Structure 1
Amino acid sequence: MAPQWIAMFCTLCGVIIGQECCSSGRACARGYQHCASVAYVSHSSPCRLVQKHCCEAAVQDGICAKGITAAKRPGACELSSFQGDLWEVKTAKMCCECCELGMLMQKEAHDCELPIALSTPCWATARACCQDGRRGPALLQLFLSVSLNNTGPGNGGNTESTHLCAGISRCSQLCIGNGSCACLQGYRLGSDGYSCEDYNECLAGVHSCSLGERCINTEGSYRCQRETSCGTGYELTDANACHDIDECAIGTHNCGPGFTCQNTPGSFRCHPQQQCGVGFIQDAVGSCIDINECVNEDNPCQSAHTCINTVGSYVCQRLSVSCGRGYHLNKEGTHCLDVDECGGRGKPCQGHSCVNVLGSFRCECRSGFTFNSISRACEDVDECMSYLARLCAHACENTPGSYQCSCRAGFRLASEGGNCEDVNECESNPCSQECANVYGSFQCYCRHGYQLSNADGVTCEDIDECALTSGGKVCSHHCFNTPGNFQCSCPPVAYTLSPNGRVCQDVDECATGAHTCSTTQSCFNIHGGFRCLSFECPPHFRRMADSRCERLPCRGNAACLSLPLRISYYNLTFPTNIPTPAAVFRMGPSMSVPVDDVQLAVVDGDTEGFFDVLKMPNGVMVYLQKPLDEPRDFLLTVEITLSRYSIVSRFIAKIAVFVVSGSPVVSQVVSEL
């Protein structure tokens, strides 16, 4: 019996001490809001671990409680709503969003067991916020129980959760009850709800790598690696530090077979194995090179002696009598005598006067030559270089003992032989029409209607004005080229040539009375012709002007009220191949108010979709949206709806469009309702 009582007593003491350690850790979290200053109550390692983890759990509970509180305010789960470091902000945002999910499940009357693949802390938070009357401390208890122990609240970590997970073997890491699975830190639940996938902290931005380090994802975690290299001679270790490479040990050096490799920080040195003796020096490849002591040292021999280099050393030899240039040794060999170079057969001055001097000679050169004391010869004087730009006006050519002047093209040498005078080339009539002499040359030019040939620059060629494309066409219709000029012509019917002789003007048959319209028709002029137009007002309308029909009073007739208030007739013309889009018709209220709503639609006459409508600030516009490359006639029916102060009025516009061949000018109609 005694051993059983002793065991029960020890177990009870362990629970009391564990609760004391955990209470101390949570008190530190409440006081400091972090676990960096935990005051350990015992030297026992288990008690210190309990203090540390209870403190961290309490800090996480407090951060999560802020997120749960924020979830009760609409739109409060944004990152900007929380303060602290990245981990604190992400934890509070996770609790806020998961609590919102739980409250949404409760609102839509779903089961609070949440049969979806969520992380363990998120599942616990959402489940607690979903259940009625279980917010506040109960939620934090649930969050703690699930995240640290994988148990539900109030079950002591033994009965309910164990029962819910009984027989469940498909969870790859953790089971949290009710058939739901969870994952360890660094993993997230897969789409199947039970397999765990690695969580890429680098892509999610939840890593702690510093500036200058690159995040590399690993299975269940990540590591930080330097972005910049360590430099030549160093390598990056697994501890993210730079370590010197021993090139001598791994054999990556380039020392030759006669050298010994010595490693240095970031590099290496090659030391030769062979040592050279006295009188030699070692080169870069380790060879021994003889030292020339006669050159490298300050006269190692005594005076009246000469130094002779030998391999590895040198010898000194006594000097004998020798004569320099311009002298020769006497018969006795004791002293030197002058050599008379002018008296010999060599004739060193080559036709110039020779004067002997002691030890040498000099030449007295003719005019145009100078004596070179080094080569001992008479050399020609280059007067063109010596008197640059002072002898000849244009070009100077050196000759032996003299020079000669010459002139550029278009000039000739003057009588004094140094200056150049202009030649008048026009005297020989080089141009086909007109010639102008210029300094040193001439210029041909042509009369109006001709241009200078690019082939010879002197012949004048006729300009074909009709073929010119720059600046537009010369004639608006047809052009005839003539020598030195051109002539324009117009179509024989409906056009006349303007006073400038280039533009064909349309003849307005309607204004001149040359049309064939009857008295009941109206004449409408178009480019190259005219149209005879007439219209009749439909029933229930009366004619108010030459181009407008207005509705008669309806007097309670429902069918009459559905008719438009006014039917207006418009005529316009424009040429083919005009640039699109092009506005052709604008309409709007004459006295607009801010509440006006004008709608425009082409209801008839445009089966091929050449025209479309566009709403504008003060009305609507009909515009051509597809190009027309041949003459055509259109009769467009445009319906205009004006809504003002809940009163809707309809108007009809009959637009006759005549597309003709001619100059690209668009006639645009602006109308008021």
Structure 2
Amino acid sequence: MALLSCVLLMLIPEVCCGLILSFDSYPASPILVTAGSTQNVTLQCQVNLPSNAISSVVISDPSGTERTATTTTLPPSPALYEITLNAVQPSDSGNYTCSATASADLMTTDHIDECASSQCQNGGVCRDAVNGFQCTCAPGYDGVVCEVDIDECASCPCQNGGVCRDAVNSFQCTCAPGYDGVVCEVDINECASSPCQNGLCDNLVDGFRCFCRPGFSGFFCGVELNECDSDPCRNGATCQDAANDVICFCVLGFTGKYCETDINECESDLCNNGSTCLDLINGFQCLCLPGFDGHFCERGWYGE
């Protein structure tokens, strides 16, 4: 019985430049080969370009012999090039390399620029890609081709009843009366101009209220009250208006703030000789006993 001797065929694919995505052998290395026999091996090299943008793909064996690979891949997919080596012997073991040369003219002529038709809307910037494009949208827009105007009012930014109007990459608030600010966040202080002339100002929404000091009235506390209008002075007195007050000038015989008190002239006890004093307005009368007369009953006549 004959014994078969087997050896290993080592094909080591190596990538030599940046255009090559992968480089493989089929069957995969190492390959078991019977002594005295050979092996057919297919080498495949995938290039990161469409086939119509490649001028050549060359596969070199360990001795430096170059062979041109071919492809059946159609654009725009990355091209897969291959070559089949017939009757490879164990002595052909070693490093195999794959290199590709790109054709700038072919790339310029045949590559489709998807941005040429101005796909991006609303000022978006188009970036061409292999069999596609990508839009970088201007601020305020979104969508595949920047067709969507972002609604900045969707978050309801306007406060205190303000109405939001959407704009490109912004918004504008129309504030309710009494409010101000970018988002109507400021309550306008109507008291800032000091509208209350003689009183204290209370700030309200879209308005104010004046609390007048005594002696003043009116919406702005600008009207000075005439306290004499109520005729406070009595008994014929003359009234003079003052700041939140009156001054009464009494006629003779009366006193008090409002001249309400009749002066009692009998308090000074002017009547003599047991006579009775009768108080009068701004005066008095002495009622004399029999035998006396005079204004003060000061004269006696009963002895004459």
TM (normalized to structure 1)?
0.19
Greater relative contact order structure (CA < 8 Å, 6+ sep):
2
Question: Whose strand fraction is larger, Structure 1's or Structure 2's?
Answer: 2
User: Which is greater in Rg?
Assistant: 2
